[in-house]
Structure 1
Amino acid sequence: MNKFAIFDLDDTLVDSAGAVDRWFIELAEQRNLGADGLQFLRAEQQRPVTPRESFQSIVDRFGFTESPDELRSIFLERVPRLSRAFDGVVHSLGELRARGWRTALLTNGTALDQQPKMRDGMADLFDVVCFADDEATRKPDPEVFRLVAGRAGAGLDGAWMVGDSLEYDIAGGAAVGMSTIWVSGGRTPRDGEPVPTRVVTSVAEAFPLLLAEG
């Protein structure tokens, strides 16, 4: 048994989507946008447009003095600090390590963007932390998975990848021989999407699966 697990960060270990909504609430309160304004912000998040188009829409709607790029900078600075680990994550990571598991964090994004999300000692619970945008390649490229395993002194065959993205986490992990746990959040895979080894609704359900395997 290969007791090595790689974890994604955003919406796997940390509630990043919730942090975005907390920023919307904060922004609406600070600028007196009201309930309708908050509803607009939440709807804008769901629109299939680029981030710049979305921030342009927000600036235009409310007449903010910031440019879209300036508002996006505020967003990028504030949202990581509003992120929170899901309940039990820090304890469960510690339990894995106490049971002899090696653990790694592999997240797309830079250290500057991602480190503020890793509070309450979370960063100390990994043998390796890899911010892929600071490396030569990012998920789902197999090379970044091999990079992380090499730094951890672990093999990938029979190891586990845990993440919320079928494209980046599940497909990437499977491509290098890992077993995979998809944190679905209640979603259902569409035809043609990668098929995970296991499916859980929340990451809290993933830890008992790993412990049972180990």
Structure 2
Amino acid sequence: MPLLFLSLDNTLLDRAGAFRAWATGFLAEIGVSDSEVDWLDMVDADGLTSAWDLADAIRARYRLRRRPIDLVEEIREGLLANLRLDPLVAFALQIATDAGWLPVVVTNGETQVQTEKLIRTGLIRKVAAYVISDDVGVRKPNPRIFSIAADRVGGRLSGAWLIGDSPEVDIGGANALGIPSAWIRRGRPWSDERFAPTMQCDGLIEAVAAVLATKTG
């Protein structure tokens, strides 16, 4: 059965939307205009900024007296509370499974946080397995994390595809591994001249359909 490697944040789950939803509520709570959501979004950098650094930046900008640990917990819990699994994404994963593919989540991040996302959204029941960088000691784009994922389900890298939104981490990882990839654009143009995705798609559902078509077309 061919492997379908899938990124978690902003591929399977709309982390960006969940973060903005939390940020809007948080700003209302502390009495700050929601125009500041763009600043929070910029500092968060699609989750690349650690929750601790984000908390420090928030405390400094809004002169909050909350303990960093409390604010970090609020950020993490708020994000989790706003994450939802799109039923159409769940349906696309089921179609891929029924077509004989093995969907495997490969994600960078903290084990507890990423696992909670999978459990709370129910995504954990829709995939064959998942691998989290913090748990295995290697991060995308290192090809080794994909080898670990393949071993976890007893699959082979030959014939595998990757779907992800990060040019560097996801598509760079697929390129290093030598497997084809589908890049989720999220309204962005491709700009990396070192490598390119096999295909570009507007969302997960389109990407899954396109990948499945490569085996039937």
The answer (yes or no) to whether the contact 2:5–2:105 under 8 Å persists in 1 is: yes
Q: Shift in Å at residue 141 of structure 1?
A: 0.7
- List aligned pairs for 1:172-183, cutoff 5 A: 172-183=173-184
1:116 aligns with 2:116: yes
Name which of 5, 29, 38 aligns with 1:42: 38
Moved more, 45-54 or 171-180: 45-54
The answer (yes or no) to whether the contact 1:166–1:193 under 8 Å persists in 2 is: no
The answer (yes or no) to whether the contact 1:156–1:177 under 8 Å persists in 2 is: no
**2:27 paired residue number:** 28
**2:100 paired residue number:** 100
Q: Shift in Å at residue 110 of structure 1?
A: 2.6
- List aligned pairs for 1:1-214, cutoff 5 A: 3-33=2-32, 36=33, 38-47=34-43, 51=50, 54-86=54-86, 88-118=88-118, 119-214=120-215
Aligned residue identity for 2:136: E
Q: Deviations over 1:169-194 (max 9, x none)?
A: 11111211211000111211224243
Q: Report the Cα distance in structure 2 between the residues aligned to 1:110 and 1:46, rounded to whole angstroms.
A: 21
Moved more, 155-164 or 10-19: 155-164
Aligned residue identity for 2:41: Q
Instruction: Provide the identity percentage.
Output: 29
Q: Report the Cα distance in structure 2 between the residues aligned to 1:130 and 1:140, rounded to whole angstroms.
A: 13
Q: Shift in Å at residue 73 of structure 1?
A: 2.9
Q: Shift in Å at residue 105 of structure 1?
A: 0.6
Aligned residue identity for 1:162: I
Classify the secondary structure of the residue corresponding to 2:104.
strand
The answer (yes or no) to whether the contact 2:85–2:122 under 8 Å persists in 1 is: no
Structure 1's unaligned 5+ residue stretches are: none
Moved more, 125-134 or 9-18: 125-134
Aligned residue identity for 1:154: G
Q: Report the Cα distance in structure 1 between the residues aligned to 2:199 and 2:20, rounded to whole angstroms.
A: 29
The answer (yes or no) to whether the contact 2:162–2:170 under 8 Å persists in 1 is: yes
Classify the secondary structure of the residue corresponding to 2:4.
strand
Closer, same or farther in 2 for the Cα pair 1:177/1:157, shift >3 Å? Answer: farther
Classify the secondary structure of the residue corresponding to 1:104.
strand
Q: Shift in Å at residue 120 of structure 1?
A: 4.9
Q: Deviations over 1:132-172 (max 9, x none)?
A: 11112111111111111111221112310000011111111
User: Runs (4+) of structure 1 moved beyond 6 Å?
Assistant: none
Structure 2's unaligned 5+ residue stretches are: none
Aligned residue identity for 1:171: G
Equivalent pairs, count = 210
Q: Report the Cα distance in structure 2 between the residues aligned to 1:98 and 1:167, rounded to whole angstroms.
A: 31
Closer, same or farther in 2 for the Cα pair 1:172/1:183, shift >3 Å? Answer: same
Closer, same or farther in 2 for the Cα pair 1:107/1:50, shift >3 Å? Answer: closer
The answer (yes or no) to whether the contact 2:2–2:156 under 8 Å persists in 1 is: no
TM-score (normalised: structure 1): 0.88
The alignment yields a C-alpha RMSD, in angstroms, of: 2.2
